[in-house]
């Protein structure tokens, strides 16, 4: 007989999942993109800038929803192909969704991600982002950039991004936190919700989830 | 290792070979498959999951919360370090089994440093000195050897596992240095403390899972599979076959229909590149 309900080292990652997924979502950052910038350079610049901004803004760190919105909309979203991210998470039923339904799905998904991870902002501190070697061919339009968040006294946390070239700019459309891709993780759940009543059912359950989170933090602690 | 452990080795290896074969046969193609192929035992798994969850809410979690409240952080760190140091021994062995002598040496070195300068493992001075900590277990070793994860299995009390990892977990336990503690009472206390320590570390994570997940069961399952695969490949698994073809195709179609934002699923019949009429509806 061993431990009662321990996920043990296997899933200890959940403990850091919160922090890094949030970090990842926010690390998708900043300022006008220079045309010839390589995707790995962009990620590095953005990561550093977001960490810096969070550290410089106590209200943001404390989870002030308005400040988080500002950070996400003003700085993060310009570098994210959020439509593609949502579409991939929703899966093939995306094709049958009307423009209104698609917009609704994007809004709800965005809210869910922000609500869930804004609590982790308070943990941002003396982390540093270290880029891993980047390999890509000249003509590639779809790449993975790997990085690591290092913090004294902790295991480094893996943080990878999948980017696609849209025109001149590289846009992030998936994030990997400690080995877990965001899109893939949501895909089954979304498909599950949509399997009965289609896109509308998915919209309803996302809505419910968000309301539940808004009123008293889900069933947290 | 004791003589007792040595005598058990052949039996153990035979059992392992058998388990690996079963896992291999049962799971061809399961890696990265759909929920149905990865989790054929879902009804049973969900039942065990519910049981674990009830046990957790009633006993494990409150205990962990009390532990967190009563024991100061620096003491908890020491407890975690001590168990981590013990785990590093098995990690080093598995590094060797996986053909990574360099990592094996560095992990063994960690144990040596932490056991001496780290005051019997209470301090993780090796990490402070920049010697990276790894976590390897026998399930990862099997994965390295090419054994696929196999179907998902939720173990009572222990949580997510698979046909490959559940037996491997037995090997981890067999090799667990805590088992060599002679006194029954002390041994059980050590296991119990480690379980509480593990659970306490998951308190924050659990909150995130509760909030992020529409369905906790499948959220945990799907992240768990990815996580294990990532661990097997030490953080850089071969890029998973991401099926984006359909979306690329859709985007081409929709941007082709008169520059409407890609969000518009082209209500009007599309030109040239979509001869079959209403785009987006041709396949389900």
Total residues belonging to chain B:
284
Q: Which of B173, B217, B244 to mutate to test the interface with A (most CBs of A within 10 A)?
A: B244
CA distance B105 to B100: 9
Q: Which of A108, A153, A179, A190 to mutate to test the interface with B (most CBs of B within 10 A)?
A: A179
User: Across the interface, do A7 and B59 touch by the CB < 8 Å criterion?
Assistant: no
Which neighbouring-strand residues pair with A175?
A: A161
Contact B210/A at CB under 8 A: yes
pLDDT band at B268 (very low <50, low <70, confident <90, very high): very low
Query: What pLDDT score does A151 carry?
Result: 76
Residues of chain B with C-beta less than 8 angstroms from the C-beta of A116: 208, 211-212
Q: What is the CA radius of gyration of chain A?
A: 18
Query: What pLDDT score does B260 carry?
Result: 43
**What's the sign of the alpha-carbon dihedral B117, B76, B227, B170?**
positive
pLDDT(B6) > 70: no
Q: Tell whether pTM > 0.80.
A: no
- Cβ–Cβ under 8 Å, residues B92 and B140: no
CA distance B196 to B206: 15
For residue B265, report the phi and psi dihedrals to the nearest 5 degrees. -85, 40
Neighbouring C-alpha atoms within 13 Å toward the C-beta of A194: 23
Average pLDDT for chain B: 81
What is the secondary structure of A105-173 as a DSSP string? HHHHHHHHHHHHHGGGGGG--S-EEEEPP----TT-SEEEEEEEEE-TTS--EEEEEEEEEETTEEEEE
Contact B212/A at CB under 8 A: yes
Query: What pLDDT score does A60 carry?
Result: 86
CA distance B123 to B26: 44
Query: What pLDDT score does B4 carry?
Result: 54
Angstrom distances, CA of residue B281 to CA of A94, A97, B111, B253, B271: 10, 10, 60, 12, 15
CA distance A5 to A8: 9
Specify the DSSP class assigned to residue A64: -
Lowest-pLDDT range of A62-66, A143-147, B175-179, B188-192? A62-66
Query: What pLDDT score does A216 carry?
Result: 65
CA distance A197 to A210: 19
pLDDT band at B100 (very low <50, low <70, confident <90, very high): very high
The single residue listed with the structure tokens 């070697």 is A133
For residue A16, report the phi and psi dihedrals to the nearest 5 degrees. -100, -10
> Which runs of consecutive H residues, i.e. helices, occur in B60-177?
61-70, 73-97, 101-116, 125-128, 138-144, 165-174
213-242 in B: which are within 8 Å (CB) of A? 213-215, 218-220, 222-224, 226-231, 235-237, 239-240, 242
Q: Which of B212, B236, B238, B283 to mutate to test the interface with A (most CBs of A within 10 A)?
A: B212
Contact B110/A at CB under 8 A: no
129-188 in B: which are within 8 Å (CB) of A? 132-133, 135, 137, 157-161, 165, 173
CA distance B92 to B134: 9
Partner residue opposite B55 with nearest CB, options A4, A99, A193: A4
Q: What percentage of chain B carries pLDDT values higher than 90? A: 48
User: Across the interface, do A217 and B211 touch by the CB < 8 Å criterion?
Assistant: yes
pLDDT band at B70 (very low <50, low <70, confident <90, very high): very high
Query: What pLDDT score does A131 carry?
Result: 92
pLDDT in tens, B190-207: 999 999 998 988 887 787
pLDDT(B29) > 90: no
Structure-model confidence comparison of residues A155 and A195, the more confident one:
A195
**What's the sign of the alpha-carbon dihedral B178, B96, B197, B195?**
negative
Mean pLDDT of B44-69: 95
pLDDT(B37) > 70: yes
Nearest one of B175, B102, B172 to B140, comparing CA atoms: B172
Strand order across the A180-181 sheet: A128-131, A142-150, A157-166, A169-177, A180-181
Return the residue of B nearest to A158 by Cα: B235
pLDDT in tens, B102-160: 999 999 999 999 999 889 889 988 888 888 888 999 999 999 999 999 999 999 999 99
Contact B12/A at CB under 8 A: no
Query: What pLDDT score does A214 carry?
Result: 82
Structure-model confidence comparison of residues B143 and A195, the more confident one:
B143
Average pLDDT for chain A: 81
- Cβ–Cβ under 8 Å, residues B90 and B172: yes
pLDDT in tens, A86-100: 999 998 889 989 999
Mean pLDDT of A68-88: 90
User: Across the interface, do A17 and B280 touch by the CB < 8 Å criterion?
Assistant: no
Return the residue of A nearest to B36 by Cα: A188
User: Across the interface, do A12 and B201 touch by the CB < 8 Å criterion?
Assistant: yes
What is the secondary structure of B197-213 as a DSSP string? HHHHHTHHHHHHHHHH-
- Cβ–Cβ under 8 Å, residues B141 and B97: yes
The interface predicted TM-score of the complex, written ipTM, equals: 0.71
- Cβ–Cβ under 8 Å, residues A83 and A58: no
What is the four-CA torsion angle of A68, A19, B214, A81, rounded to 10 degrees? 60
Mean pLDDT of B220-241: 86
Residues of chain A with C-beta less than 8 angstroms from the C-beta of B194: 3, 6
User: Across the interface, do B224 and A11 touch by the CB < 8 Å criterion?
Assistant: yes
Closest chain A C-alpha to B21 CA, distance in angstroms: 23
The single residue listed with the structure tokens 């088992």 is B179
Question: Nearest-5° angle of CA A178, CA A184, CA A186?
Answer: 100
User: Across the interface, do B214 and A209 touch by the CB < 8 Å criterion?
Assistant: yes
pLDDT in tens, A101-153: 999 999 999 999 888 777 777 777 778 889 999 988 888 889 999 998 887 65
């Amino acid at each position: 007989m061993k431990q009662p309900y321990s996920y043990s080292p296997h899933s200890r990652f959940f403990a850091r999942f919160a922090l890094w997924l949030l970090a990842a979502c926010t690390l998708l950052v900043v300022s006008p993109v220079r045309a010839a910038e390589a995707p790995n350079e962009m990620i590095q610049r953005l990561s550093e800038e977001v960490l810096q901004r969070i550290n410089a803004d106590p209200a943001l760190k404390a989870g002030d929803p308005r400040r988080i919105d500002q950070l996400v909309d003003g700085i993060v979203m310009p570098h994210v192909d959020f439509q593609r991210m949502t579409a991939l998470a929703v899966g093939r039923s995306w094709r049958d969704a009307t423009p209104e339904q698609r917009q609704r799905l994007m809004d709800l998904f965005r809210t869910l991600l922000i609500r869930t991870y804004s609590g982790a902002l308070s943990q941002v501190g003396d982390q540093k982002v270290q880029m891993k070697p980047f390999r890509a061919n000249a003509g590639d339009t779809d790449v993975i950039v790997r990085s690591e968040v290092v913090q004294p006294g902790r295991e480094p946390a893996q943080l990878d991004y999948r980017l696609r070239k849209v025109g001149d700019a590289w846009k992030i459309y998936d994030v990997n936190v400690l080995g877990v891709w965001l899109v893939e993780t949501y895909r089954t759940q979304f498909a599950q919700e949509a399997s009965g009543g289609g896109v509308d059912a998915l919209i309803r359950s996302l809505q419910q989830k968000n309301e539940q989170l808004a009123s008293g933090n889900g069933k947290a602690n | 290792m004791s003589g007792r452990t040595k005598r058990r080795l052949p039996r153990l290896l035979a059992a392992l070979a058998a388990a690996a074969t079963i896992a291999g046969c049962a799971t061809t193609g399961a890696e990265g498959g759909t929920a149905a192929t990865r989790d054929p035992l879902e009804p049973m798994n969900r039942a065990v999951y519910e049981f674990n969850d009830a046990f957790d809410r009633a006993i494990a979690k409150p205990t962990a919360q009390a532990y967190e409240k009563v024991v100061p952080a620096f003491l908890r760190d020491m407890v975690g370090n001590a168990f981590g140091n013990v785990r590093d021994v098995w990690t080093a062995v598995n590094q060797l089994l996986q053909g990574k002598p360099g990592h094996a040496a560095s992990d063994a070195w960690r144990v040596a440093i932490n056991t001496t300068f780290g005051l019997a493992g209470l301090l993780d001075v090796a990490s402070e000195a920049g010697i990276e900590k790894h976590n390897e277990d026998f399930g990862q070793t099997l994965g390295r050897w090419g054994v696929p994860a196999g179907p998902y299995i939720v173990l009572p009390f222990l949580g997510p596992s698979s046909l490959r990892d559940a037996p491997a977990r037995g090997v981890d336990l067999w090799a667990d240095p805590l088992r060599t503690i002679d006194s029954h009472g002390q041994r059980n206390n050590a296991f119990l403390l480690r379980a509480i320590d593990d659970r306490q570390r998951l308190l924050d994570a659990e909150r995130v899972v509760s909030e992020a997940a529409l369905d906790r069961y499948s959220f945990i399952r799907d992240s768990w599979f990815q996580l294990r695969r990532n661990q097997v490949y030490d953080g850089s698994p071969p890029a998973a076959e991401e099926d984006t073809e359909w979306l690329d195709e859709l985007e081409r179609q929709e941007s082709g229909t008169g520059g409407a934002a890609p969000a518009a699923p082209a209500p009007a019949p599309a030109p040239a590149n979509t001869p079959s009429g209403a785009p987006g509806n041709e396949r389900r």
